[in-house]
Structure 1
Amino acid sequence: MPNRKIISVAMLSVMLLLSGCTGAQKTAADTGSKVQEAVQQENQSVAEPKKEQAMKLIIDDKVLPVTWEQNASTAALQKLLPLTIKLSPYGGFEQVGDIGQNIISADKQITTQYGDIVLYAGNKLVIFYGSNSWAYTRLGHIDMSKQELTALLNREGVTVQLVAR
């Protein structure tokens, strides 16, 4: 009789252990599928082409070819149009100007390239003719050569206009 109790307790313990393992495997599988879905969604958003928004960037009376990002920051910037921003050279690789107020930002550590247009500190427009690594929110990219951008931006007194198309 005592053997039956021991065997029953042992069987019950084994069943509980096995059922616990099964639940953990199911949870891991569920987590794996959720991670896979998130990666697929991110890949789809990266693969989607950038659409040009109804915004023009003008320097020296020249409309520059810009591909704008599709994000909340560019949408917020567009709501402020028209804007005229006086830029100041910084570091020999960028021009920086205050947009007049804070807008929504999603700063990430990135390395910029020539032509990149970013938001810095939620209230500054930065246009690069060189490269830098810092936390910025991407706004767009000027589709010009490094030489063209350097000639246009590597000087004092640059003013940019942002207007609706």
Structure 2
Amino acid sequence: MLYIQVGDNILAAVLEDNPSARALAALLEEGPVTLEAENYGGFEKVGELPEALPQNDTRITAAQGDVMLYRGDSVVLFYGSNTWSYTKLARITDAEGLETALSGSEISFTLSLWP
């Protein structure tokens, strides 16, 4: 499982079975990673990783709850929808209240393998 802390909210996500998600998990084995973040386009919160991950981008329509890799070095948390070239990393398991949790003014989020 992937855990995402945004403000006081902790979101659980199921990691994909692909090289990008495995590389993210390996990075997080060393400990939680906090990313500086910004809201973009009214549908996503984006944070840059400390290192690039392997990417296998395909043109996809991301939906609320998707966790995507963008350009190999940014994690995108979707609270809306967008079509672009991404690599899917994970899917947030409970979308209830997700837009409120992700669209706030928080300027960072933390990724970890443990809650």
- Shorter-chain TM band: 0.7 to 0.9
Q: How far is the alpha carbon of 1:80 from its aligned partner?
A: 1.6
- 1:125 paired with 2:75, answer yes
Q: Is the 8 A contact 1:115 1:129 kept in 2?
A: yes
Tell me the TM-score normalised to structure 2 length. 0.87
Higher normalized helix content (fraction of residues): 1
- 1:56 paired with 2:26, answer no
SS, match of residue 105 in structure 1: coil
Unaligned runs of 5+ in 2: none
- 1:149 paired with 2:78, answer no
Q: Is the 8 A contact 1:86 1:157 kept in 2?
A: no
Higher normalized strand content (fraction of residues): 2
Number of residues paired by the alignment? 111
Tell me the TM-score normalised to structure 1 length. 0.62
Unaligned runs of 5+ in 1: 1-52
Q: Is the 8 A contact 2:79 2:98 kept in 1?
A: yes
Higher relative contact order (CA 8 A, sep 6+): 2
Q: Is the 8 A contact 2:9 2:101 kept in 1?
A: no
1:89-130 CA distances to partner (integer Å, 9 max, x unpaired)? 000000111012211010000001001000000000000000
Alpha-carbon separation, structure 1, partners of 2:3 and 2:100: 20
- CA RMSD in angstroms comes to 1.5
Which residue among 14, 21, 31 is the counterpart of 1:67? 14
Which residue among 58, 62, 86 is the counterpart of 1:136? 86
